[in-house]
Structure formats: C-alpha cells, structure tokens
Chain A
Amino acid sequence: EADIYQTPRYLVIGTGKKITLECSQTMGHDKMYWYQQDPGMELHLIHYSYGVNSTEKGDLSSESTVSRIRTEHFPLTLESARPSHTSQYLCASSESRPPYEQYFGPGTRLTVT
C-alpha cells in the first residue's frame, strides 16, 4: 500500500547527541518536505527536495540537514541535539504536477533533555 512512513515516532535523547529522523514514501513522489511543528501550533517548512540530489532550505532556519540519495528516502539529521530542538517533525511528499496535494507522515515527536 502506498504510504509515507516516519521513524521513530517518539524519541527522547540527551543534549549533544547526533540523531537522524527517517522518512520514506512508497508513492514515487518527486517532492519531499520536512516541517517543524510545536504541539497545536502552525507548521514551519524547514527543508524540501525536488528530487534525487536536490535539497533546499525552507522558510524557517534550522540547524538540521537533509539528504536525498534515493527518491523514496529523505532523512533529517541533527549533528548535536539541543533542548531548543524539542518539537514535532513532520515529513510530507507530493507529485510535481497538479493538484500538488501533500501527503503527510505520522510525525516524529522529539524531546531533547
């Protein structure tokens, strides 16, 4: 079944640790996105990708980095986690043609202690 997956769903980690949030989609979509969202608050785009080997920074500055080596995979990495990184991270994907709707993963809730 075509879908978009994120792992882990929940992560509690200490300050200074390196973390990678995984995102995979089986829909063959060219575009993928990472959003940061505090609970019950608005979405902030932090990274996006048009396709393999393309990545762009979003509207909200983030210390995280992303890579797109395979179409279906768009991991997000924090080299040194800090308490200010505590948030929910949502991954999404979409086609490059209309109607452009985005499909969202279940999210990763990150807590940095």
Chain B
Amino acid sequence: AQTVTQSQPEMSVQEAETVTLSCTYDTSENNYYLFWYKQPPSRQMILVIRQEAYKQQNATENRFSVNFQKAAKSFSLKISDSQLGDTAMYFCAFMREGAQKLVFGQGTRLTINP
C-alpha cells in the first residue's frame, strides 16, 4: 500500500521568506500523480499544485514550485516570497494511475508571521 509522510508537523517563517515543506512517499508504481493541497484556517481546501510522475520538469504555479525527485520518492513544496495568506495546513497527496482514492500525508501547519 502507498504511504505519504510529511515529517514537519509545524513550520513558522517570517513574511517574504522562502519556505520548503517536505513530503516523501512510498510506492512501487511508475505512473502516479502528486498533489499539494492548502487548507487555510476555517476555509476550503484548495489545490496548490500537481505533478505527473512521467514529467521530469518540476511544476510551478506563481510563487509555488515543487522539487520532484522520483528516484528518492520525494516531493517538496517551495513557497517563495511568503505572504500572510499562505498561513494554512498543507497536505501532500499521492494517487497511482487508475486508483480510486488519494492517499494524504498527515499535514504540515505553516504559519507566516508579519
């Protein structure tokens, strides 16, 4: 069975700093998809970024980028120029090709301080 591990339960940085959230996963599959979701306090969970395993190029969405290391089974999220609105729980998630459900990590609570 696939597992996803987020080893940082909590992180805290100053506004405008860069922060990296780590995520590792365990799978024997070759075709799969990885996601980072953001859940702000008392607000809706939204997708931040996704990565297809067959793509070598790291995904980027504005200030958010990933470092996808397929051999190491690592999928970290980098937030550049962090903003107060980035304060949230961040969940890493994995889905193998053809599966019925996502596998989520435990989450990392990120706080951006003014």
The B43-65 residues at the A interface (CB cut-off 8 A) are 43-47, 50, 52
A interface: dominant SS: loop
Among the stretches B13-21, B66-74, B75-83, B101-109, the one at the interface with A is: B101-109
Determine how close the nearest CB of chain A comes to the CB of B22; give it in whole angstroms. 16
The A23-46 residues at the B interface (CB cut-off 8 A) are 31, 33, 40-43, 45
Q: Find out whether the CB atom of A50 lies under 8 angstroms from the CB atom of B104.
A: no
Q: Which residues of B contact A56 (CB under 8 A)?
A: 100
Residue B26, interface by CB 8 Å: no
The interface size bin for chain A is 20 to 34
Choose from B37, B97, B101 the contact partner of A33 (Cβ within 8 Å): B101
The interface size bin for chain B is 20 to 34
Q: Find out whether the CB atom of B100 lies under 8 angstroms from the CB atom of A31.
A: yes
Residue A81, interface by CB 8 Å: no
Residues on B facing A (Cβ under 8 Å): 33, 35, 37, 43-47, 50, 52, 89, 91, 95, 97, 99-102, 104-107, 109
Question: What are 26 residue pairs bridging A and B, where the CB atoms are less than 8 Å apart in the complex?
Answer: A40-B107, A40-B109, A42-B105, A42-B106, A42-B107, A43-B104, A50-B100, A56-B100, A90-B45, A98-B33, A98-B97, A99-B50, A99-B52, A100-B33, A100-B102, A101-B35, A101-B47, A101-B50, A102-B47, A102-B102, A103-B47, A104-B37, A104-B44, A104-B46, A105-B44, A107-B44
> Which 8 pairs across A and B sit closest by C-beta, in order of nearness?
A104-B45, A42-B106, A106-B44, A43-B104, A100-B95, A42-B107, A101-B47, A99-B33
